[in-house]
Amino acid sequence: MGTDWKTLADGAKTRSEFYGLLATVFREEPSEALIHELRGPRLAGTFSGMEVELGESFYNDPEAEVRASLVLEFTRLFIGPGSHISAHESVFAEVDGGLGGLWGAKTVEVKKFIEAAGLEYEQRFTGLPDHVSVELEFMQKLTGWEADQWSRQDRTSAEYCQSVQRMFLERHLLCWVSQFCDAVMAQADIPFYRAMAELTKNYLAFERQSIAPDDAA
């Protein structure tokens, strides 16, 4: 049998869309448009199938009320001004036997990795390169590129895209996002961010098995 290029392209595209969704969830306070999309039949069905529980109020309350509660929760969890979770690899990753800090060695590594892949940051971007949303968005771009190469029936380029994804997962996302998600699940007061953190953790574990080598640490 010949190569099913469409199936390969569709699979990579689906992964790209999922990474994009996760990046959006952790990038900033949710918009009503995002809430509307998440409550729509396509994603609601997907979440139900994956046993992701976003809470009854998320689906039943008016979207404006849902957004108001999620904005407060996002701010409390990730911004402060009080104690909050820093969503940055450099804070969670171990460096020289201890935890690092903002703009640490891991921040520089991620910045160089992304730039070496040919991507540039938008001029209006004021965050740090190792924020969880940036790393997830980078995977969105890589899987999107892979989908394009499968569509062009370019196996060599598609497999190269996979190798870059594998490298970034091993060197970065898989080294810290699980701990970040555990912190979110422990500190979230409402189901939404707890469920999204669990989904992110489980999805990266699935990615590890599907594209990372069997001997990955």
State the CATH architecture for 5-211: Orthogonal Bundle (1.10)
Question: CA-to-CA distance for 57 and 86, rounded, in angstroms?
Answer: 27
Q: List per-residue pLDDT tens for the chain, 217 residues long.
A: 578 999 999 999 999 999 999 999 999 999 999 999 999 888 877 887 788 889 899 999 999 999 999 999 999 999 988 899 999 999 988 665 555 677 778 889 999 999 998 877 665 666 789 999 999 999 999 999 999 999 999 999 999 999 999 999 999 999 999 999 999 999 999 999 999 999 999 999 989 888 755 444 3
In the three-class reduction of DSSP (H, G, I as helix; E, B as strand; rest coil), residue 96 is classed as coil
| 201 in Cβ contact with 181 (< 8 Å) | yes
The single residue listed with the structure tokens 């909050």 is 84
| 85 in Cβ contact with 183 (< 8 Å) | yes
Q: Which residues of 74-83 are buried (b: 16+ CB within 10 A; e: fewer)?
A: bebbbeeeee
Segment holding 95, helix H or strand E: strand 94-95
